[in-house]
Amino acid sequence: MSNQHDDDDFDTPLQTAAELVLLHDAAHVWHPYTQHHQAPLPVAIVRAKGAWLYDANERPILDAISSWWVTTHGHCHDDIVDAITDQAKRLDQVIFAGFTHEPAAALAAQLVQRLPRGLSKIFFSDDGSTAVEVAIKLSLQSFANRGVPRRLIAALDNAYHGDTFGAMAASGRGVFTHMYEPLLFEVARLPDPSVGDTIAALDALIAARGTELAAVIVEPLVLGASGMRVWDEHVLQDIRERTAAAGVHLIADEVLTGFGRTGPLFACERADVRPDLLCMSKGLTGGVLPLGATAATEDIFDAFRSEDRAKTFFHGHSYTANPIACAAALASLELFDEDCEDDRVRIEVAHARHLDALRNVKGVRAVRQIGTIAAVELDAPAGYLSDIGRELAAYSLQEGVLLRPLGNVAYCLPPYCITDNELDLVYAVIHRFLSGARAETIGTGGPVDD
């Protein structure tokens, strides 16, 4: 007897295409960060353009969070779409061990030109989490290849680096990681720079265990998933000074902060800091296709050059440096011109104006901003599972705006094509919510339940 489901059972003349999507989804799809016992029906999106998503009824939804922080220049940007189409006609995929191709080689060269000086080698992967895994492994193995037994990683409290095991180990402990904690490797924890004395703790760690310490990993200048916690660039400079003096690698996780989110192309540039390893993804392709990359110094690369094949970096992904994704990334990089810089400055100014108006509003505990990232901390129980986040997400979706608060922290992180009038819509929704407006029901609408 076959257990195979017959999807044709869903197909009746009375069902629309959108209804079929939801039926198939309910029957077979497991969504990320979703409690399916409580979650409302997901919204079926059929197309997107610029800062807007459109559902199956052609209802527009303003994407105020860049679809999980990835969409930089806007959805379905013509230049990126054209680059993908052209590349797909010529070369779709080839193994990247022993082979290369023009999009990957050109992308590596273009990235090196734009990265902080000294980062001269690019290792491609699939996404932000795997870019972090690569960085941690490169650091550890580079010491091992040189006969130096350094195996300790240090990371910040409240950090988030991804959902694979190495990235989870480096992340702060909480709802994302507690289930797997017995399986995670030891990490020396440093205070969150937005609330504690990171440098004193780092000095103490280096004094006590400096000969064991391989790397310090940070989200430079903003801790994203813990509530867009902004921290001072002078602290980043001091971390770089201490790690360099101790011969410890500095890993910059710029998966969120890269590609203009904090102002310059990379957050490390704001502090004039050059890390030893830098992780990229999200906006790398303009948010169109998955691609990750880890940049490394020549010194780290040289630790793997050997007559001993056992010192090879034994790491790779089936879709490493996928040609179509690399073509998208090249097209995206070309769009970081003066017009894009002007748009980012315009968004920064608009954020500042709106946040200033929210600063003393009842229900607001704090506001913060760096570059095109703006956050409003609501006066409600803190934490990722705070109910106020789902309430605001449901209400904003009902009002045609996509927000996905991090617990009690609402944030706006839009694509750079967003207009001032569209930003006004986002903040108007937040104001109405703070004034008492709520969704007609949380049980309908978008995927607001984590």
What amino acid positions are annotated as catalytic residues?
A: 33, 160, 253, 282
Distance CA 280, CA 259 (A): 9
Contacts of 423 (CB under 8 A, 6+ apart): 347, 350, 351, 354, 412, 414
> Secondary structure of the chain: what % helix, strand, coil (to 5)?
40, 15, 45
**Using an 8 Å Cβ cutoff, are 155 and 161 in contact?**
yes
Which whole-number Å values give the CA distances from 121 to 178, 275, 325, 332, 397, in the listed order? 35, 13, 19, 20, 42
Tokens representing 211 are 């000969």
Number of other CB atoms surrounding residue 135 within 10 Å: 32
- Angle formed at CA 132 by CA 130 and CA 133, multiple of 5 degrees: 60
DSSP character at residue 75: B
Tokens representing 399 are 């009002």
